[in-house]
Structure 1
Amino acid sequence: MPLTICIIDDDLVSQFATRYCVQQFFGDVDITTCDSGEEGLSFFVDFFKEKNQLPDIIFLDLVMGGMDGWTFLEEIQQQYGKAKFPKVYVLSAFAKTNDRGIAKEHPLISGYIDKPLSRIHLQGIFANEENGNAH
């Protein structure tokens, strides 16, 4: 069964670049993109109803209009706290310097990546996925 990946980012160029990088690196993967935290939550509800699980990996932008990445994380933790939680990789330009420090310490975040996503980042992420390890 292919990995399921959700990209949550309000920047369409970043979404496209992230999707393209993942597809070029590892073709057998299901990717969903969401333009906001709210859309991400809606996708999670539908995905969980259909598959009784959450996606394997989330690439999450922290700074978005409406619901930011931090609020999205709080919401999915409250709603799906007992489910197997996805690996969350913050993909951000880190406009706020304290976001990097908080992301490093956050228990739900497996790693953080400065935009844009690159092949080197993916090598580490997918190697850890195949070995069943956290990043």
Structure 2
Amino acid sequence: MSKNILIIDDDIVSQFALRYTIQQANIDCEILVCDGAQEGLGILSNLHKAGKDLPDFIFLDLDMPDLDGWDFLDRYRNINGTAKRPKIFILSAFTSSLDRERAKEHSMVEGFFDKPLSRNSVSRILKSRPD
């Protein structure tokens, strides 16, 4: 069964690098890329309203204009009523010990990784949810 992945990142190079790394992991998946948190929230909201499954995984950048990753998480919390929530992994090019600690304590965040994400890390993450 194919896994569904949502990448939320405003940087086109980071989007490409993560998409490529996921594809190199040789795991059957569908990848959707958003240019920002607002677009990602819209997609998740539309899926929820249509009664469709949400993605299995979300890779979320923290540093984005308009809404950052933390704002996304606060607003995403309002999209509820689904039986299955995505596993959310934060990716950041700017490592901050405060962000790492905040991610570690956040109930919706599964992990925090520095960019770029390695193929081994991607494989480990994508194999963490059974089909």
TM-score, L = length of structure 2: 0.90
1:81-115 CA distances to partner (integer Å, 9 max, x unpaired)?
x3121000001123543111101111100111100
Larger relative helix fraction: 1
Cα distance, 1:70 vs structure 2: 0.7
Aligned CA-pair RMSD: 1.6
Higher RCO, Cα 8 Å, sep 6+: 2
**Equivalent residue number for residue 7 of structure 1:** 7
Q: TM-score, normalised by structure 1?
A: 0.88
1:108-133 deviations in Å (ceiling 9; x for gaps): 00111100011111122123123x8x
Partner of 1:126: 126
Pairing of 1:1-135 with structure 2 (within 5 A)? 1-80=1-80, 82-83=81-82, 84-130=84-130
Whether the aligned pair in 2 keeps the contact of 1:36 and 1:64 (CA below 8 Å) is yes
Q: Which runs of 5+ in 1 are unaligned?
A: none
Q: Give SS of 2:59's match.
A: strand
Corresponding residue pairs, total: 130
Deviation at 1:76, TM superposition (A): 1.3
Q: Which runs of 5+ in 2 are unaligned?
A: none
In the alignment, is the contact (CA less than 8 A) between 1:6 and 1:57 conserved in 2?
yes
- Cα separation, 2, equivalents of 1:108 and 1:86: 9
* Preserved contact between residue 94 and residue 100 of structure 1 (Cα < 8 Å): no
Contact 1:8 1:58 in 2 (8 A): yes
Separation (CA, whole Å) in 2 of partners of 1:89 and 1:21: 15
